Homo-oligomer: A and B are copies of this chain.
Amino acid sequence: MVMPQALLEKSLDKRVSLFLKDGRVLEGKLTGFDEYMNMVLDETIENNAAGEEERRLGTVVLRGNNVVSISIL
């Protein structure tokens, strides 16, 4: 069994893709998270639904309750 938090820990410093509740998709390097699944991403890029780069956001803190899913890239 792979606990969700354990998978996040194994994914530190890897690139992940986050689907947010508001439809935005953020891609960045996962550098931290806490027990509420709040997350810290570095070198974050916001992509539109078609997967094209929209904006460079740099370092971002994300509130866990707005995250739908996290894909490990």
Chain A contact residues, CB within 8 Å of chain B? 1-8, 12, 19-24, 26, 31-34, 37-40, 44, 57-73
Quick one: given A59-B72, A69-B60, A71-B59, are A32 and B4 in contact (CB under 8 Å)?
yes
CB contacts (< 8 Å) of A70 on chain B: these are 60-62
| A62 nearest in chain B by CB position | B69
CB contacts (< 8 Å) of A19 on chain B: these are 22, 24
A64 CB contact (under 8 Å) in B7, B23, B58, B63: B63
CB pair B20–A32 under 8 Å, yes or no, is no
CB pair B61–A8 under 8 Å, yes or no, is yes
Quick one: given A1-B12, A12-B1, are A68 and B62 in contact (CB under 8 Å)?
yes
